[in-house]
Amino acid sequence: MSARRPWAKPLVPVYAAVLAAKDALRRMGVPPTRKLSWPVVSVGSLSAGGAGKTPVVIALATILRDAGWKVDVLSRGYGREGRGVERVVASPGKQVPRYARNDNQNSKSNDKSNGTSKGDRTSDGGGKDFSAAKFGDEPVLIARRTDVPVWVGADRFLAGEQAEKDAAEGTRGLHLLDDGFQHRQLARAFDVVLVTAEDLNDKLLPEGNLRESFAALQRADAVVVRAEEMEGISKQVWPLVREGAQIWTVQRKLRFPAPLFVFGAGLRPVAFCAIARPEGFASMLTEAGCGIVETVAFRDHHAYTMADIDRVIEVAKGMKATGFVSTEKDAVKLTAAMRERLEAFGLLMIVALEAEFVDGQAVLRAIEAHLS
C-alpha cells in the first residue's frame, strides 16, 4: 500500500530511534516487567489498528473456555471515559440485536428470535450507551460474545490482579491480553501476533500504520494470518519468525442475521461503521452479495451522536437506499433512540465480523503445550 501520511516520512527515523531506545531499556529491565500469578496469552499486531484482533480474541477465548480453562480478557478499553480497573458489565446473557425492520410485526419476531428487546439495552433511552462509553466498544463486544470475564484498565497488571482476586479461591486461570504485543511491561507466557497482507507494504508510524517493524516478529510464539492471504504472506513471514514459532490460519466471515434472500431482492443498504479499515468491511459485504450503495466511515472507536445518525440517514435518502448495515462493534454504541431513528427509515441489519481458526485443536494444543 502507499504511505498513509507521506508528509510525515521525515519523522519515521525519529520514531524508529525511540523504538530502539525503548527496546534497549527493556533489555536492561527498565521499566521492570511485572508478572501475574496466572499465565498470560497476549494477542496483538504490528499495525495500529484493523488487523482483526477482536474477532481473534473472541475465537481464542471461546476455544480456551470450551476446553475448560477459566479464561478472562484484559483490555485497555480504548475510547472509554475512565482509566481505572473495572469488570465489564454488558447486558449479561444478551446478544447484540441482529436486525430490525420498520414494521411492528417483524420487529417483534426479530426481538424474540434474538433473545433481545429494546429494554435490554444499557442506555439512558436517548443519550449515551453506558456500556460502551464506560468500558469501550471492543471489551463490551468481547464480553457479550464470549461470556467470559472482561476487565478493563489503563494498568493491565492491576486489572489482572483484580481478576485473580475476583475468581473463586484455588482457581487456576488464564489471562488473554487484548492488544498486548507492545505492552511489554506485563510478562506473558505466549505471544500471538496478527499479520495482514496490507501490513507487508505498510510503513512505520507516523508515515504509515505500523507500530513496529517486522523484526519484532522474533518475539512471537505464533503468527496469525488470514486464509485468503496465507500463500502470499507465509513466504515472507517464515524467514522472520524465530525457530519454533507457528503460523496459524483464520478464516474471516460475515455472519448475517439470516440468509440475504430473506431481506428481498431489492436490498440496497448503506453501510456505516467506525472501524480501522472500513474498506475491508465494504469489500466483504460486496463479496457476500449484500448490494451496498454507499459506505459512511467514521474514525475507529468513534462514539456515535444523533448528528452522525442523521448524516447516515441523509446519505441513505440521497442514494435511495432501503436501509442500513453495520457491525456488532458499532451496534454496542447505538442507543435505543438512534436505533429507532434508523429503523424509522428502513431495515437495520447488524452483522458479525468473525474469525475461525482453520485448526482450532492445533491452536489449543500449542498453547497448552507452551503453558505446561
| Ligand-binding site membership of 47 (annotated) | yes
List pLDDT tens digits, range 223-233: 999 999 998 89
| Ligand-binding site membership of 37 (annotated) | no
List pLDDT tens digits, range 302-347: 999 999 999 999 999 999 999 999 999 999 999 999 999 999 999 9
| Ligand-binding site membership of 128 (annotated) | no
pLDDT band at 372 (very low <50, low <70, confident <90, very high): confident
| Ligand-binding site membership of 48 (annotated) | yes
Residue 271 pairs in a beta bridge with 295, 325
List pLDDT tens digits, range 280-305: 999 999 999 999 999 999 999 999 99
Domains, the chain, with CATH or none: 6-90+134-253+355-371 (3.40.50.300), 99-132+254-353 (3.40.50)
List pLDDT tens digits, range 206-249: 999 999 999 999 999 999 999 999 988 988 999 999 999 999 99
| Ligand-binding site membership of 127 (annotated) | no
pLDDT at residue number 177:
99
Which amino acid appears at position 312 of this protein? Answer: V
- With both helix axes pointing from N to C terminus, report the angle between 137-146 and 53-66 in degrees, rounded to the nearest 10: 30
Kindly tell me if the per-residue pLDDT of 36 is higher than 90: yes
| Ligand-binding site membership of 50 (annotated) | yes
Q: Which residues contact 63 (CB under 8 A, 6 or more apart)?
A: 357, 360, 363, 364
| Ligand-binding site membership of 53 (annotated) | yes
Q: Which residue is listed with cell 512505520?
A: 204
| Ligand-binding site membership of 276 (annotated) | no
Residue 151 pairs in a beta bridge with 74, 87
